[in-house]
Structure 1
């Protein structure tokens, strides 16, 4: 008599959102879990401005990761809109994972975020100690205790507290397993092979902005916005030799910033275009011609009309 094989585990699918103060490692963690670059990363805080969904495909599950802007006390209209975006997202996902960098002490910004998150009652909460490669074992042990204490102080019931290094790949797979285990049973939500549901123009604009952020300082990172005006395959090319034409504008807020972005004899703008083009080609798998121009949108972070024009 042959034995009946045990039933396969039910397929799970759902959404998990990474939140945390700016530069807590959310974008790097999203890319590590997806296994491909779907969101930009930068050492500059508050560089994530759009909610990008990265999709993790597994035989037993589909985990859709929502990478949000960092929650912070806003100083501009742009900051207020980004915070509203985060709060809307938190109410719509199955799991919220708060990222606490292991190399930094828990502070007022973290408490602010956990309290804001506590207003979303039904969502499962997970705590992630990120950047563990930058902390000593002693620091990490204390950090995990501090996260648990913060949960007690704020009335937050952590479903899991997980230490992870996205940079080194340490415990990334364990985190994926834990997040999948917290998702509801359900069918596949996106086709196989799809890594993000963000339009290609949005991802391309973000890659250009990432290249532009390298090496700039002070207030300039927050003054940079990118809009892809046109993106089409060149018509007169053979099918086996495609070329993607991309025309994009990089916006800053003042004349002085325009000069910084262009650089001496155009050297900086040329470097930004070259690095962005390489990243875009790697992502899309197609040779790219990138035509990039700098424009001024005066004080756009505080101007509702300009914010709408730039997609916020």
Structure 2
């Protein structure tokens, strides 16, 4: 499609419905966990930048919250993040979950995403994710044909983000649609997110995973102290972190704390394990749980918790 000797670079927004596998894809291709992912839709709340360097180009991926109907508060914030990423991108990657039955009608939500993408006039690629879940692979071609008939995408690539299958083909298609130009960031630059931000997201992920379906999406995390005084200690490098898990109701606080503090202890233990890998040293983590009433629907409280509404 393009001269392979031409270096290309630009921003690629990863968009799609909640739980389509956008964050899993970003983490897989980056080889490092930048975006948290759970079994629950709408886990991602912010735009996450991941910079991938390839021999023929630099792709600045922007992982986005899932596009969905938003009535206000945190949900409206999430949708605005995704829509802004679409407008700022050079190339758009539409990540969609493959449907179990090829005769299922495509949803109105899919039509809205297509309209958003087409309205930009920007090059885009459709990735049909989770092909690893298709037991009958003979249904794959009818799936592709259905999407082609509905949306006429310039390119369709079936992938498994979880297993890293066919992602190389997808990356080549994205690079080919990037504008020609030098790298936008130095080779060693992986993301624009701070370690402090990644710490809050790590803890939030563990809180979601440990409470499973018992806790609604009314959980946020703030880092109250991030002490690196001993990080360069040659004998025992350590970072000390104090953080707060915010919920909206006393009942939710009881769920997060758990009987005799068992749940919050598990959240802290799992968080420490991931944070050790992220920060490259021993981590002291002290977690607190606080009721911040209706934080997810009040703009002032959203701002206090770090959401730029």
TM-score, length-scaled by structure 2: 0.92
Whether 1:166 aligns to 2:165 is no
Q: Deviations over 1:199-256 (max 9, x none)?
A: 1111111111111111434572410111112212134973342100111111111000
Residues paired across the two proteins, number: 300
Match of 1:42 among 20, 38, 41: 38
How far residue 117 of structure 1 moved from its aligned partner, in angstroms, is 2.4
How far residue 75 of structure 1 moved from its aligned partner, in angstroms, is 2.8
Match of 1:25 among 21, 25, 28: 21
Q: Contact 1:249–1:295 (CA<8 Å) still a contact in 2?
A: yes
Q: Contact 1:24–1:130 (CA<8 Å) still a contact in 2?
A: yes
The whole-number CA distance in structure 1 between the counterparts of 2:110 and 2:232 is: 52
Match of 2:116 in 1: 116
Match of 1:239 in 2: 234
- Stretch of structure 1 that moved more, 70-79 or 256-265: 70-79
Match of 2:185 among 184, 190, 195: 190
Match of 1:227 in 2: 222
In the TM superposition, what are the counterparts of 1:237-276 in structure 2 within 5 Å?
238-276=233-271
TM-score, length-scaled by structure 1: 0.91
Question: Which blocks of at least 5 consecutive residues in structure 2 are unaligned?
Answer: none
Residue 217 of structure 2 aligns to a residue in which SS? helix
Q: Contact 1:207–1:276 (CA<8 Å) still a contact in 2?
A: yes
Question: Which blocks of at least 5 consecutive residues in structure 1 are unaligned?
Answer: 1-6, 153-157
- Stretch of structure 1 that moved more, 224-233 or 109-118: 109-118
The 1:219/1:186 distance shift into structure 2, 3 A limit, reads: farther
In the TM superposition, what are the counterparts of 1:129-144 in structure 2 within 5 Å?
129-135=128-134, 136-144=136-144
Match of 1:100 in 2: 96
Q: Contact 2:9–2:58 (CA<8 Å) still a contact in 1?
A: yes
